[in-house]
């Protein structure tokens, strides 16, 4: 690097007097012998070009010296520019870039992350918060590269804007309460006034009501007084919770894998953008927005997890217990009056068992009657076929006798019918041969025979019972032996309390290490329970909070089903003299497959709605217990929903439905 001297004598600053002398006016006089041409008298001139008599340019030779129009010799300036041919050759030699691997292409949120920190704008704090929110939403849409329309990300953004009231979704008032019989609507008498171009250019929505003489009303695309926008600004955190939970499920967005993945990321970017740009000076809004960002980050994990849980649970563990004790999926609820009376519960179970047996016997009799009627119909059809075949054989015999007589030429035209009769006779012989011997119709053995093997060409399937047939498409159901191995569980335990409720995941416990148990002559329940704990993973579930639930909430209050066996405490708080399992206060430990540990380790706090059946120790008559309470295991059956940990119901859901009906009526 070249170092400049401290003092540069060739560039000294001018003194104040010298600088003052160079200022204009007055204009200094030109030096002696110098004639300055004024701008008005200036005439532009180029170079002299040699031409011939026809005014065609003459190509100069190498010794030609060029002068301009004033007779001043010109100088050639140094140039690094290459000629056209060399440039073209260089461009031809340039290799085309290789195609990038599409598998390593960045996702749309990774592209946004690269330049997200520099996307900042300033918003006028004198504007109302709703208007600032609308402007920020438009800027968020315009200042970033969006993925192709086929991905649906832009449509997802519009759905969220509609949810917070920033995008109007007009309704046609004529479609309200359409005719059930599908009759065509009458032609409107008044089609309304036409929309003028200035109205369209101003971007105003024009609402025209058919069949009305009123003038068209203008509706702004964004209404700062929209109650949806006001509710969002009052509490962004709660509204994000509602959108990504109850609203997400109600609109069916929860069942789309792409929406479960994209919506939380999209909302996180938007909330972070509002915070980074300091869109709101209000401290309460900013604090709520920061909490909303945390909710969106949590949703990025839990919403995709709901799909994994739905495809994995219940697993083979639940199927094995269902195969052992039967299914407890039912709609009947246990009478609260017998919640503490096990004897009354057993009487109810006995009545239900008898009702099931009676229904089974009725169905079996009905099926037997149907089979008997079907057999009679088949026998009648067989007799009719046999009679038709007998007549055909007689006719064939008569024709054969005629062929052998003097009128053979007249009968030759009926050869085709004779051949058909022979075929029929072969079929009949095959059907009527029974067990008397091989069938007629040739020596090929292609037709069924009584001793042939079933399922092989030449075999007879007519005598095989349909109940003995094996369904090749049937799925092998899990059993307790294939899942747990040899066990005494059917002797020591039974199905206990059956609860249908939504519970929150509290803890995930991996399979335990086996500990030595005391030897006993009879199967010990403790050893069986330890065997369950070492073979399966355990999930501890606590009751889901029932506060702040809407009237149309998907989270139902816990209920005890009619097949339940055991004392139950149905009170929200402990009561003296009432004992047993409390679905409102007690936790349960559910057995799951080992593979569920990795899937549920990041799902702490999420909710699972299912039917939970207790694995209860069987009462042994003649033995007195020590009075020590023992922890029991449960298994899952019939998972009906899985929800994120931040699930929040919209308490204004009914009011919103009423407002939506008349939203565009005014």
> What is the full DSSP assignment across 417-458?
HHHHHHHHHHHHHHHH-TTSSPPSS-SS--S--TTSPTTSTT
pTM of the model: 0.63
- Give the CA dihedral 416, 417, 418, 423, nearest 10 degrees: 90
* Cα separation, 218 vs 200, whole angstroms: 10
pLDDT band at 603 (very low <50, low <70, confident <90, very high): very high
pLDDT of residue 505: 95
Does the pLDDT of residue 441 top 80, yes or no? no
Helix (H) or strand (E) holding 239: helix 236-243
**DSSP secondary structure letters along 248-294:** HHHTTGGG-HHHHHHHHHHHHHHHHHHHHTT----HHHHHHHHHHHH
Query: Where does the pLDDT of residue 241 fall: very low under 50, low under 70, confident under 90, or very high at 90 and above?
Result: very high
Q: How far apart are CA 416 and CA 422, in angstroms?
A: 10
Neighbour tally for 611: CB within 10 Å: 23
Beta carbons of 148 and 182 less than 8 angstroms apart: no
d(CA 569, CA 372): 52
Q: Angle at the Cα of 611 (from 609 to 615), degrees rounded to 5?
A: 130
115-125 per-residue burial string, b: 16 or more CB within 10 A, e: under 16: eeeebeeebee
Number of Cβ atoms within 10 Å of the Cβ of 604: 13
430 in Cβ contact with 448 (< 8 Å):
yes
Distance CA 513, CA 494 (A): 25
| Sign of the CA dihedral running 175, 179, 184, 185 | negative
> For 509, phi and psi rounded to 5 degrees?
-120, 125
Q: Among 61-65, 177-181, 472-476, 593-597, which is the least confidently predicted range?
A: 177-181
Note the pLDDT tens digit of each residue in 519-556.
Answer: 555 678 888 888 899 999 999 999 999 888 888 888 98
pLDDT at position 67, please? 82
Q: How far is the C-alpha of 44 from the C-alpha of 47, rounded, in Å? A: 11
Rounded to an integer, what distance in angstroms lies between the CA atom of residue 464 and that of residue 468? 7
Q: Which residues of 36-69 are buried (b: 16+ CB within 10 A; e: fewer)?
A: eeeeeeeeeeeeeeeeeeeeeeeeeeeeeeeeee
Residues forming a β-bridge with 51: 57
Q: What percentage of the chain reaches a pLDDT higher than 90?
A: 36
Length of the chain: 666
Q: What is the mean pLDDT of residues 198-217?
A: 44
Nearest to 665 by CA among 174, 38, 21: 174
Output 426 or 73, whichever has higher pLDDT. 73
Placement of tokens 């497959």 in the chain: 593
- What is the distance between the alpha carbons of residues 565 and 568, in angstroms, rounded to a whole number? 9
Mean pLDDT computed over 125-129: 92
The DSSP 8-state label assigned to residue 93 in this structure reads: H
* Token pair 């407002």: residue: 659
> Which pair of tokens denotes residue 425?
């006779």
CA distance 425 to 440: 9
More confident residue, 614 or 78: 614
Per-residue pLDDT of 471-511, as tens digits, reads 566 566 778 788 888 888 989 999 999 999 999 999 999 98
Over residues 461-466, the mean pLDDT reads 52
Strand 607-617 and strand 559-560: pairing?
Answer: unpaired
Residue 208: pLDDT band by 50, 70, 90 thresholds? very low
Separation of alpha carbons 304 and 264, rounded Å: 10
Kindly report, residue by residue over 162-179, the tens digit of the pLDDT. 999 998 754 444 454 444
């Amino acid at each position: 690097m070249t170092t400049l001297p401290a003092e540069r004598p060739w560039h000294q600053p001018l003194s104040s007097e010298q600088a003052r002398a160079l200022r204009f006016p007055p204009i200094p006089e030109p030096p002696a012998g110098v004639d300055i041409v004024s701008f008005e008298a200036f005439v532009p001139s180029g170079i002299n070009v040699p031409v011939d008599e026809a005014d065609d340019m003459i190509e100069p030779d190498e010794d030609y010296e060029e002068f301009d129009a004033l007779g001043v010799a010109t100088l050639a300036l140094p140039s690094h520019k290459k000629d056209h041919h060399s440039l073209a050759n260089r461009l031809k030699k340039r290799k085309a870039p290789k195609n990038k691997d599409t598998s390593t292409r960045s996702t749309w949120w990774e592209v946004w992350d690269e330049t997200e920190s520099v996307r900042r704008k300033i918003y006028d704090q004198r504007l109302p918060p709703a208007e600032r929110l609308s402007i920020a939403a438009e800027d968020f849409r315009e200042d970033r590269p969006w993925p192709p329309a086929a991905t649906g990300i832009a449509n997802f953004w519009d759905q969220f804007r509609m949810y917070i009231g920033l995008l109007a979704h007009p309704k046609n008032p004529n479609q309200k309460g359409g005719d059930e019989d599908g009759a065509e609507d009458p032609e409107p008498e008044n089609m309304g006034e036409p929309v003028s171009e200035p109205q369209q250019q101003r971007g105003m929505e024009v609402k025209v009501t058919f069949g009305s003489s009123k003038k068209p009303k203008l509706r702004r695309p964004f209404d700062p007084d929209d109650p949806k926008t006001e509710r969002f600004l009052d509490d962004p955190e709660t509204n994000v919770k509602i959108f990504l939970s109850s609203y997400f499920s109600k609109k069916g967005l929860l069942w789309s894998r792409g929406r479960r993945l994209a919506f939380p990321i999209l909302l996180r970017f938007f909330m972070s953008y509002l915070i980074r740009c300091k869109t709101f000076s209000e401290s309460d809004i900013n604090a709520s927005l920061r909490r909303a960002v945390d909710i969106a980050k949590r949703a990025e994990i839990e919403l995709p997890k709901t799909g994994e849980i739905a495809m994995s649970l219940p697993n083979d563990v639940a199927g094995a217990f269902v195969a052992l004790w039967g299914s407890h999926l039912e709609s009947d609820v246990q009478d609260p009056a017998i919640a503490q009376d096990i004897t009354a519960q057993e009487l109810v179970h006995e009545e239900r068992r008898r009702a099931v047996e009676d229904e089974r016997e009725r169905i079996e009799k009905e099926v037997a009657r149907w089979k008997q009627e079907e057999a009679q119909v088949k026998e009648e059809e067989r007799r009719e076929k046999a009679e038709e075949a007998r007549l055909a054989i007689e006719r064939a015999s008569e024709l054969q006798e005629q062929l052998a007589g003097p009128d053979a030429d007249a009968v030759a035209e009926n050869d085709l019918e004779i051949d058909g009769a022979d075929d029929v006779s072969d079929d009949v012989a095959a059907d009527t041969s029974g067990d008397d011997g091989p069938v007629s119709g040739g020596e090929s053995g292609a037709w069924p025979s009584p001793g042939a093997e079933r399922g092989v060409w030449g075999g007879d399937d007519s005598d095989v019972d349909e109940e003995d047939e094996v369904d090749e498409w049937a799925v092998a159901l899990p059993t307790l032996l294939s899942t747990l191995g040899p066990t005494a569980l059917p002797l020591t335990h039974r199905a206990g309390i059956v609860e249908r409720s939504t519970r929150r995941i509290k803890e995930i416990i991996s399979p335990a290490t086996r500990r030595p148990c005391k030897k006993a002559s009879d199967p010990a329940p403790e050893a069986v329970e330890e065997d369950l704990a070492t073979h399966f993973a355990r999930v501890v579930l606590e009751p889901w909070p029932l506060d702040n639930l809407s009237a149309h909430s998907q989270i139902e209050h816990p209920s005890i089903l009619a097949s339940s066996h055991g004392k139950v405490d149905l009170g929200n708080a402990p009561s003296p003299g009432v004992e047993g399992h409390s679905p409102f206060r007690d936790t349960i430990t559910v057995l799951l497959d080992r593979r569920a540990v990795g899937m549920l380790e990041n799902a702490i706090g999420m909710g699972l709605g299912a039917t939970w059946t207790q694995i209860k120790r069987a009462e042994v008559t003649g033995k007195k217990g020590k009075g020590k309470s023992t922890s029991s295991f449960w298994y899952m059956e019939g998972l009906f929903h899985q929800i994120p940990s931040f699930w929040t119901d919209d308490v204004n859901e009914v009011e919103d439905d009423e407002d939506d009906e008349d939203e565009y009526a005014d």
